[in-house]
Amino acid sequence: MGTRTRGFANNISSPGGVFDATDLNGVVPATNIANSSLTNVTEVSPSLGYAVSSVASDPPAPGTGQMWYNTTSNVLKFLGTTTSSAWASGGNMATARFALAGAGTQTAGLGFGGTPPVTGATEEYDGTSWTGGGTMGTARRILAGAGTQTSGLAFGGFTPPTNSTATEEYDGTSWTSGGSLATARRGLGGAGTQTSGLAFGGFTPPVTAATEEYDGTSWTSGGNLGTGRYYPGGAGTQTSALGFGGYTTVNVADTEEYDGTSWTSGGNLATVRRELAGCGTQTSALAFGGTPPSVNGTTATEAYNGTSWTVETSMPTAKTQLGGVGTQTSALAFGGFITSPSGSTSTEEFTGAGSPVTRTVTGS
């Protein structure tokens, strides 16, 4: 029996004599395809790498190494990575303040509370600028925060002349009351989410090691810190949290890790300090700012890998009692105390080494 070949008669549709390849198996030689016929191509095989596309705006989520031509700005761009960490200025807050709290990410941040005067003002950050949000029901300072911009949690703090047990939940528009803390305190640490929050340390008085867990409705007792402290930094989740720095009767550098039941010791900060900000996770955290001994504020920035802290690029301005949110490689610092008793409106954005960054191709 001779070679069997396939006829294509059934693949010619009418009217118009259009070739239909929907049920065609095999390979059509490239020489049989005119370049002018390759229109409306929506995807290129990954084996061929990224194609250079012409787009009116930058892709919302490009892959590392992807290149494109922006027809609006008439430039060639690609997504690369940073070679070193860096801080850059962001949009200023509308309300100057320190002793505030925060929640969210670098491009969807939330700042609330603070002083002076003691305020319940809330602002939302979109990665470029701050806009006003709903005012807290209880104005206070030296409070803690957790969660996201549209699902935030505020708890504890100081409403002169008393410490607060107040908990409030933010839905992206307004604050509503949640379950009260069992222990009224200020200068406490916070971590977690709106429905799974963690409060630890603080000043009652005296300095406390108490830890409480929030389930979205009420607070219950957790395992005490090994070292009671106030003004610590915090990061992580309710079952995988990190507490670091703070003040006992002196500034401390020790770090503790929480597993949902108890705290254990971690690596010490390189810079001893209190009133610092923190963000990230238990195994990938960032600490920045704060008050070292005998100094009004610091620019020190450190990254934690679950075992030890390493020094990162310093903040541009030394500040303390600031707000901080985000991740280890994409953090936001805002407000805080510099030298003026009125507080600061400044915002700084941190980008860690190896982070994705859009670059423009330029001539040499």
Strand order through the sheet with 122-125: 101-104, 109-112, 122-125, 130-132
Six-digit token string for 341:
């008793």
Q: Determine how many CB atoms are found less than 10 A away from the CB of residue 353.
A: 14
Domain membership of residue 19 (yes or no) is: no
Domain membership of residue 166 (yes or no) is: yes
With beta carbons less than 8 A apart as the criterion, state whether 65 and 50 touch. yes
Can you give the pLDDT at residue 174? 98
Domain membership of residue 299 (yes or no) is: yes
SS3 per residue for 334-349: ECCECCCCCCECCEEE
Domain membership of residue 162 (yes or no) is: yes
Q: In whole angstroms, give the CA distance from residue 204 to residue 208.
A: 7
With beta carbons less than 8 A apart as the criterion, state whether 326 and 350 touch. yes
Can you give the pLDDT at residue 302? 98
With beta carbons less than 8 A apart as the criterion, state whether 195 and 215 touch. yes
Six-digit token string for 293:
């001994």
Burial class (CB in 10 A: 0-12, 13-18, 19+), 111: buried
Domain membership of residue 256 (yes or no) is: yes
Mean pLDDT for 104-132 is 97
The alpha helices in 127-229, defined as continuous H runs, are none
Model confidence pLDDT, tens digit, residues 49-87: 666 888 888 888 787 778 888 889 888 877 766 667 899
Domain membership of residue 77 (yes or no) is: no
| Structural domains of the chain, count | 1
Sign of CA pseudo-dihedral 162, 171, 321, 204? positive
Model confidence pLDDT, tens digit, residues 1-21: 455 555 555 555 555 555 555
Q: Which CATH number belongs to the domain containing residue 171 in this structure? A: 2.120.10.80
Q: In whole angstroms, give the CA distance from residue 63 to residue 25.
A: 32
Domain of 202? Answer: 87-351
Q: How far is CA 264 from CA 199, 251, 255, in A?
A: 16, 19, 9
Under DSSP, the state recorded for 238 is T
Q: In whole angstroms, give the CA distance from residue 68 to residue 54.
A: 6
The letter for the amino acid at 39 is T
Under DSSP, the state recorded for 23 is T
Domain membership of residue 53 (yes or no) is: no
Q: In whole angstroms, give the CA distance from residue 93 to residue 223.
A: 37
Domain membership of residue 141 (yes or no) is: yes
Model confidence pLDDT, tens digit, residues 165-205: 999 999 999 999 999 999 999 999 999 999 999 999 999 99
